[in-house]
Structure formats: structure tokens, C-alpha cells
Amino acid sequence: MTNHEKPVALVTGASSGIGAGYADRLAHRGYDLILVARRLDRLDKLATDLSCRHGSNVEVLEADLTTESGITKVENTLRSDSRITLLVNNAGNGKLGTTTDISHEDSISMIALNVTALTRLTRAALPNFIARDSGAIINIASVMALHSLPITSLYSATKAFVLSFSRGLQEELAGTAVKVQVVLPAGTATEFYDHAGIPLSAFDPDVVMTTTDLVDAALLGLDKGELVTMPSVEDLELWASFDVARNKLFAATQSGKPASRYQVASGGSSEL
């Protein structure tokens, strides 16, 4: 397959960690790459390495996805480069701390990167994918989408957005050949913790996955057609029963009247 016929994947947050892992594995699978991050030196080094090892054509895009110019640069690439068949929305950050401890800048940055950038790049990629009726988007959420701790309120909320947004996209795209996979990694050994406010060393190493294991599992989940991939969860029935319960709960909300526990005795008045 000549380079112009090879599929092209755009990977955000490719300068380290999970994104760099995706870049390597996708190159190994025969993808040409467009790698996005702020650290151009890291991107250039990775591009050279992947070209040498896999013969991939690797382009780099230096972009801060929390800035208008950065996000617009990548949006334009997704809209104009029809070779792109896969978008990996991986770039993300997480400052862990209580809501009042986290700075305004860190709060805004988490939302801008984990929520706004992922949304805007998805919206930029989808029209070409839908028009061609092919293509895939991999959204990297987190198990924290399902769980909030006192130090992860905002981070968990941003990842709950990624999960919920991805599930909605899957509904929208049902019946098309455009796929959306949402991946929920648990603790993974990356530089994430250099900026999170809690060092990786604070975690039990037995519950922290390597990036290689994480990415290989997540890509196998994609190959299997999984919509929701939780690489570290052995019993997927746990997700299935969670999703069934979620559907039942939603159905129960459609009653049109207050539940009996909220019924005020006739003539009584609710305390304000």
C-alpha cells in the first residue's frame, strides 16, 4: 500500500504516555500519523523513531488544545485532510484536589482540554467520516467517569462528560459504519501524575497498568467492536449489569408524577 493509500490517524496528546503508546501501536498496524501536542521536541523525536521502525509517514502538529489558535489548527486539519480515518481524542489533564484547592487556571484548563477540545475535534472529524460512511473516533475517558473522590470532583466530571458524550455519539451513529469507542483506563503509568498533584509512587504498583498493556487492550477492544472498553475489568458483566440498571432507572424517571415519598398529605403543606 503506498503512503497516500495508507489510513491516517490523528492522535492528540501523542508526546507522552497513552497517546505515544497509540502512536506506536497504530504505526505498527500500518497507519500513517498526525501527532498533536505542545512539546514539539518530543513529537519530532517520536516521529523519527516511528518512521524508522515502522516506515510510517508521521506529521507533527504543535498545538496547545486549550487555546483558540491551537484547537483551530487541529480542527482545520481534521476538516481538510480527507486521508484521516481515525481520531484518537487522548490529550487530557487532571489536577487532583478539592474544588477550592484547585486553581482557577487548572480548573479551566481541565475543562478546556478534557471537554471542549475533545468536543470540537469530534465535531471537526465527523462530517468527513459520515460523508464517507467510514472512520472511527477513540475517546479516552477514565474509570473516574464512574467514580468521584473528594480530590477528583472536577476531573471525574470531565471524564463523565467524555463517557456520556461518546455514548450519545454511538446512538447517533448506530447503523452507520462510523465507529466511536470510549476507553476507560484505570491507573496507568504515565507522566499524568507529574502534573496531577499526586505522584504515581502514591499508588499501589499492583493496580497501575503499563501504557503498552493499556493501549494493546484498548485496541483489541476496538477490534472486537466494543463500544465501551475497560481494559482492567475482567468481568464485563459488571458493565452490562450497570448499563441495564442505568436504563431501568432512566425508564423509571418517566412517570410524569412525584413519587409517593414526595406526596404531601392532602391539606398539608411542604415545609420551605
Ligand X SMILES: NC(=O)C1=CN([C@@H]2O[C@H](COP(=O)(O)OP(=O)(O)OC[C@H]3O[C@@H](n4cnc5c(N)ncnc54)[C@H](OP(=O)(O)O)[C@@H]3O)[C@@H](O)[C@H]2O)C=CC1
- Using rule CB under 6 A, residue 181 touches ligand LPIYNW4C: no
Q: Which is nearer to ligand LPIYNW4C, 66 or 152 (CB)?
A: 152
- Pinpoint the alpha helices (H) of 55-136: 68-80, 104-111, 118-132
Ranges of H-type helices in the chain: 17-28, 40-54, 68-80, 104-111, 118-132, 153-172, 192-196, 211-223, 237-253
85 binds ligand X (CB under 6 A): no
Is residue 38 involved in binding ligand X (CB under 6 A)?
A: yes
39 makes contact, choosing from ligand X, ligand LPIYNW4C, none, with CB < 5 to 8 Å by partner type, with ligand X
Of residues 78 and 209, the one with the C-beta less far from ligand LPIYNW4C: 209
Is 19 near ligand X (CB under 6 A)? yes
Residue nearest to ligand LPIYNW4C (CB): 142
Catalytic residue among 22, 31, 155, 193: 155
What is the closest distance, in whole angstroms, from the C-beta atom of residue 142 to ligand X in the complex?
A: 4
Taking the least distance from each CB to ligand LPIYNW4C, the nearer of 77 and 142 is 142
Q: Which residue has cell 414526595?
A: 262
Distance CA(258)–CA(190), nearest Å, equals 48
Task: Give every CB contact of residue 183 below 8 A, 6+ residues apart in sequence.
Answer: 138, 139, 140, 141, 218, 221, 229, 230, 231
Which residues participate in catalysis according to the annotation?
155
